[in-house]
Structure 1
Amino acid sequence: MTSTERGTRLADQSADAGAMLAWFRRMRESEPVSHDEEAGVRHVFRHADVERILSDPGTFSSDFSSLMPAQEDVDRFLRGNLLRKDPPQHRKLRTLVSKAFTPGRVARLAPRIASVVDDLLDARAGQDEFELVADLAYPLPVTVIAELLGIPTVDRPMFGRWADALVAPESQTSFIPNEERTRSMAIVMREMNAYCLELIRHRRARPQDDLTSELVAAEVDGQRLDDEEIIGFVGLLLLAGHITTSALLTNVVTCLVEQPEAATALRADPGGLALAVEEVLRFRTPLAPSMRVTRSDVRIGDHTVPAGRIVLAWLASANRDERVFADPDRFDIRRTPNAHLSFGHGIHFCLGAPLARLEVRTAVAKMLGRWSDIAVGPGAEYHDARGIVGARRLPLHVRWV
């Protein structure tokens, strides 16, 4: 009996994270590689298989251009988008971008991140109601990314509008955009591309102390990024740099509300926050799937997948694999080792991971220091768990210290 006949197709799954986890558990045992004929994809659920897919760009490509309807604005955005490039183009882009987006630059942001968190918490000081996304989880990473890139404060509300349009529910369940979806994406990308290009050209003419200026100047072996390659990376930072960080921060708070003893332990020992954030990344994986397309016929488990087929590697399932994690459905803030795949693996390991970790650790430490009690109030809204796991809106009741 096929997975379709058993009703385990992705399209039949609830957007609820709990239903998805139950589906993952069943599929890891009964059908770890599943052919979903209606959706036109192969689902992959076990850690070893997912890690293999992420580690082998020669077989599992990140370039979907041959499967998507051609569209100038979308193509322009993807030109410098590291997530959608294979070697050797990926190597060139990542090497040049890494010259500007260094660990040292990220580390120097720590005082400013702490200051932004303090300002956002001060704005609601003493109030017993706090909407985590609007009041902290969205403005924190947006402010940091915007300042890093040198984007004016008044322009930052555009990020949310662009993100809402490009990370719409239908984009999380239809894997390759059709012509209608591509046209709607193109409208947003045209505006975003034009904004980024104007910023880049301005910095090329008048460099400043910001990441955009450093991307313009970055050079390795005589090679530099051209304006349109920088558009893709700046656009990627604007979107990915805040969506997943915002989701992760809501997931940390959700886990600590559900496990108050963990919150108590972290108040007593803030040094445990680093491990705790890694456990949240595993336990409530912000980006549930990672998608690839096969370059050639390939064997995954008991399945032969032909060339040119979409493979959906479920990070959120791999992170609960019983073969790798002891008692995987238990939230353990001291779990070590923790071989989660939430930031990817191999050449596409998330370049922004150190920044996301720093922002979230800083925010959680300050929340725990200021709030003696946290509870989720009514009206919480969540992303579609088939794409992003996290809250779109998370009202909290808090007690200030």
Structure 2
Amino acid sequence: MPPFTDGGAEILEWMKGMRDDRPVWRDEHNRYFVFRYADVQAVFSDPARFSSNIGRLMPVFGAEKLSANLPWQDPPDHRRLRQLVSQAFTPKTVAGMRPRIGEVVGQLLADAPGDEFDFVEQLAYPLPVIVIAELLGISPGDRAFFRRCADRLLGIGAEKGESEQKVVEAIAEATKELDEYLLAEVRQRRAKGSTDDVLGALAAAELNGERLTDLQVATFAALLLNTGHITTTLLLGNTLLCLDDNPDAEARIRADRSLVPAALEEVVRRRPPFPRACRIATTDVEIAGEVIPADAFVMPSILSANHDERQFEKPEQFDIQRDPNRHFGFGHGIHFCLGAPLARLETEIALNRLMTEFTDLRISADPVFHPSEFYGVKEMTVSVRRA
């Protein structure tokens, strides 16, 4: 499979050929990649045959930690866990962060050095970690620690052709220090009976007399911090990439800011931060004429599905008013991303503020892209003209 280091041009062309000729493809690690929209949707919609519980084949995590990893749960455990964590991470909580997100964006842009800077370093990377850390109630002084943890996670999968086993083992090692930190924070909340932040609210959440254990709370908090941080960082960078490639769309958005939400949905379709998902076949199952054996890894390609001509008219065209736009950029079905509203809110506020602060914003050097696992930029120099 081609890498993402060229920004995706080669892999998108390769995926188009796979959709046409080999809609299900087995790689050297015996993982089965699924490329067409309808087939990806079928995998996402059938947890009985395509399990999310990949931890059962890779017991590098303990049972208690696995039980709190929301993306790796199947029904009915998934529903119970999602109901518990949803009590703390509510739409009201997210919406209440709007003024603070605006303040953080404003301060980060005010601190930007001169008329040229690394957009990832200056805004896309620090914004989500500050917001999520504040939601969790984590000390601002520990942001550098969180950055180190996220850096480790962002480096996973950089080696071409790494097996799923190796990737999961790397995740376990990369998150160990963060888990220990958050576990201590949870115990502190329990001792004080504090519910003033999301971490405390998670510790107090209750369903039918059942609460999450300390380790389960810490595990979900780590998931929120890591995946929420990475998603928004990549989404912000991908937004600038799409607008830089499509100046007419940028001009329309500048003239009519009501187009921002729909434009961001098109960014998520065009450049989804997480290009694929992972499931395990629970039985022998046939997709597009290919028999996938039980216990095989199944990799639904979100990136390919979002570019499938069978679903989207002119999929390579960046259409900020595409309707309908039923992309898989935030997942699908029971595993639709719980943090999607926060990622959307942060990116919407940031884009509006960027257009207010800068009358011109251009990518001024070739971006450096993540090689695999994540679809987006590591470094991106921009030149700006302030309003």
Taking structure 2 as the reference length, the TM-score comes to: 0.95
Cα distance in 1 for partners of 2:366, 2:137 equals 35
What does residue range 261-276 of structure 1 map to in structure 2 within 5 Å?
A: 261-276=248-263
8 Å Cα contact 2:369/2:378 also seen in 1: yes
In structure 2, how many angstroms separate the alpha carbons of the residues matched to 1:311 and 1:343?
18
Which of 184, 188, 195 does residue 174 from structure 2 map onto?
188
Conserved? CA contact 2:156–2:171, under 8 Å: no
Report the equivalent of 2:335.
Answer: 348
Counterparts in 2 of 1:263 and 1:183: CA distance versus 1, 3 Å: closer
Q: 1:55–1:367: structure 2 CA closer, same or farther, 3 Å change rule?
A: same
What code does the residue aligned with 1:98 have?
S
Q: What is the alpha-carbon distance in structure 1 between the residues aligned to residue 168 and residue 324 of structure 2?
A: 41
Give the whole-Å Cα distance in 2 for the aligned partners of 1:238 and 1:201: 18
Contact 1:263 1:368 in 2 (8 A): no
Secondary structure of the residue aligned to 1:285 is: coil
Change (3 A) 1:128 1:220: same
Paired amino acid for 1:200: V
Q: Which amino acid aligns with 1:48?
A: A
Picking from 67, 85, 99, the partner of 2:87 is 99
Q: Report deviation, 1:66.
A: 3.2
Kept in 1: contact 2:283–2:295 (CA 8 A)? yes
For residue 197 of structure 2, what is the aligned residue in structure 1?
A: 210
Deviations 1:227-249 (A, max 9, x none): 11112100101100110110000
**For residue 26 of structure 1, what is the aligned residue in structure 2?**
17
Question: Which amino acid is 1:23 matched to?
Answer: W
One-letter amino acid matched to 1:157: A
CA distance in 1, matches of 2:281, 2:170: 27
Q: Name the CA distance, whole Å, in 1 between partners of 2:359 and 2:176.
A: 46
Tell me the equivalent position of 1:297.
Answer: 284
Q: Tell me the CA shift for residue 14 of structure 1.
A: 5.7
Following the alignment from structure 1 to structure 2, what is the Cα–Cα distance between the partners of residues 313 and 149?
A: 31
Gapped regions of structure 1 (runs ≥ 5) = 1-9
Note the alpha carbon deviations across 1:113-172, whole angstroms, 9 max, x for none: 1111111111127x2112111110011100100000000011112222212223324367
Q: Does 1:306 align with 2:293?
A: yes
1: CA distance between counterparts of 2:174 and 2:265? Answer: 33
2:87 partner SS: helix
Which residue identity does 2:74 align to in structure 1?
D
| 1:398 alignment partner in structure 2 | 384
Q: 1:284 to 1:188 in 2, by over 3 A?
A: closer
Q: Give distance in 2, aligned partners of 1:399 and 1:241.
A: 30
Say what the alpha-carbon RMSD is for the aligned residues.
Answer: 1.7
Q: Hey, what's the Cα distance between the residues in 2 that align with 1:52 and 1:281?
A: 20
Give me the whole-angstrom Cα distance separating, in 1, the residues matched to 2:149 and 2:65.
13
Counterpart among 145, 153, 178 of residue 158 in structure 1: 145
Q: Does 2:316 correspond to 1:329?
A: yes
Displacement of 1:379: 5.4
Q: Secondary structure at the match of 1:151?
A: coil
In 2, are the aligned partners of 1:283 and 1:329 still within 8 Å (CA)? yes
Equivalence for 1:377:
364
Letter in 2 for 1:283: R
What secondary structure sits across from 2:300 in the alignment? strand
Ranges in structure 2 where 5+ consecutive residues have no aligned partner:
none
* Contact 1:81–1:232 (Cα < 8 Å) also in 2: yes
Pair 1:59 & 2:46 matched: no
The percentage of counterpart residues that share the same residue type is 43
Letter in 1 for 2:94: V
Could you tell me whether the CA contact under 8 Å between 1:77 and 1:193 is conserved in 2? no
Whether the 8 Å contact between 1:196 and 1:234 is mirrored in structure 2 is yes
Give the TM-score normalised by the residue count of structure 1.
Answer: 0.92
Map residues 115-126 of structure 1 onto 2, 5 A cutoff.
115-124=103-112
Q: Cα distance 1:46–1:183, how it changes in 2: closer, same or farther (>3 A)?
A: closer
Q: Does 1:198 pair with 2:188?
A: no
Q: How does 1:356-367 map to 2 (within 5 A)?
A: 356-367=343-354
1:4 aligned partner: none
Q: 1:106 to 1:156 in 2, by over 3 A?
A: same
Does the CA-based 8 Å contact 2:203-2:212 persist in structure 1? yes
Select 1:389's aligned residue among 340, 350, 375.
375
